[in-house]
């Protein structure tokens, strides 16, 4: 696949088949993603890939915490309200997603269910949790974003679907305890991945993008 096709094909997938990605493919994909550039080549991504029953056990803990009403305590602020056009884009994406799922705006129980599917990795057999060192801030977070896109594009090229999820960073202590990590590992997001279940209504959602006339300023 050439890059144009890969870019067009990659989208967030929120429903997966229970089939695992072969170990050799997993290793190949993560090896290729190591090519991501980073400031001074420090490669600040610390990735933990969790699969199969181990992932289901973690999903259970995350859902339990959410249902018990335990307040999220993310390592990085996750409660910012988006202003202006950013809010418009957020609403548009939500309209597309909930529309595909047939969930009305005021249907709280089903919206809560849709949110909880985040914590169940949308049924994916794998997730990668992306951490960075506790002293790092925005500059290194940029590197993690570039890494994530590199990884997701490589996955797409191998027929593997994914969904980056800030929602997977809401209970970092539970994730760290599950993985045996100390708090110097700060969790910024997770990515669920595996093979798409095309029957899942959420996967019919398509979100658009701003035109370059509105997004890019060319200076001469």
Q: Which is nearer to ligand FMN, 118 or 185 (CB)?
A: 118
Q: Which is nearer to ligand FMN, 156 or 185 (CB)?
A: 156
Least distance in angstroms from the C-beta of 150 to ligand FMN? 13
Is 170 among the residues that bind ligand FMN (CB under 6 A)? Answer: no
Least distance in angstroms from the C-beta of 23 to ligand FMN? 26
Give the 3-state secondary structure of residue 108.
Answer: helix
Q: In this structure, what are the phi and psi dihedrals at residue 209, rounded to the nearest 5 degrees?
A: -140, 155
Q: Is 185 left (phi over 0), alpha (psi -120 to 50) or beta?
A: beta
Is 165 among the residues that bind ligand FMN (CB under 6 A)? Answer: yes
In whole angstroms, what is the distance from residue 194 CA to residue 80 CA? 30
Where are the strands (E) in 150-212, listed by range?
161-165, 185-194
Is 189 among the residues that bind ligand FMN (CB under 6 A)? Answer: yes
Give the 3-state secondary structure of residue 53.
Answer: helix
Site for ligand FMN in 17-46 (CB under 6 A): none
Binding part of the chain for ligand FMN, among 33-41, 135-143, 163-171, 211-219 by CB under 6 A, reads: 163-171
Order across the sheet with 161-165: list the strands.
Answer: 46-51, 126-133, 185-194, 161-165
- Considering only residues 118, 156, 192, 203, which one is a binding residue for ligand FMN as defined by CB under 6 A? 118
Query: Which residues lie near ligand FMN (CB under 6 A)?
Result: 11-12, 14, 93, 118, 163-167, 189, 207
């Amino acid at each position: 696949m050439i890059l144009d096709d890969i870019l067009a094909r990659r989208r967030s997938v929120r429903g997966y088949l229970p089939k695992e990605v072969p170990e050799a493919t997993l290793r190949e994909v993560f090896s290729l993603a190591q090519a991501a550039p980073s400031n001074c080549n420090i490669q600040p991504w610390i990735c933990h890939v969790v699969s199969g029953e181990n992932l289901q056990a973690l999903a259970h803990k995350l859902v339990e915490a959410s249902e018990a009403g335990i307040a999220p305590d993310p390592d990085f602020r996750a409660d910012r309200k988006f202003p202006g056009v950013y809010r418009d884009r957020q609403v548009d994406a939500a309209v597309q997603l909930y529309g595909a799922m047939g969930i009305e705006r005021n249907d709280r129980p089903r919206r809560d269910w849709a949110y909880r599917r985040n914590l169940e990795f949308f049924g994916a057999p794998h997730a990668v949790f992306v951490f960075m060192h506790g002293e790092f801030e925005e500059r290194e977070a940029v590197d993690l974003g570039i890494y994530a896109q590199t990884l997701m594009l490589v996955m797409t090229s191998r027929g593997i679907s994914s969904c980056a999820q800030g929602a997977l960073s809401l209970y970092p202590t539970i994730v760290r305890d599950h993985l045996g990590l100390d708090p110097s590992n700060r969790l910024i997001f997770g990515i669920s991945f595996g093979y798409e279940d095309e029957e899942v209504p959420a996967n019919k959602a398509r979100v658009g993008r701003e035109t370059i006339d509105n997004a890019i300023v060319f200076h001469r």
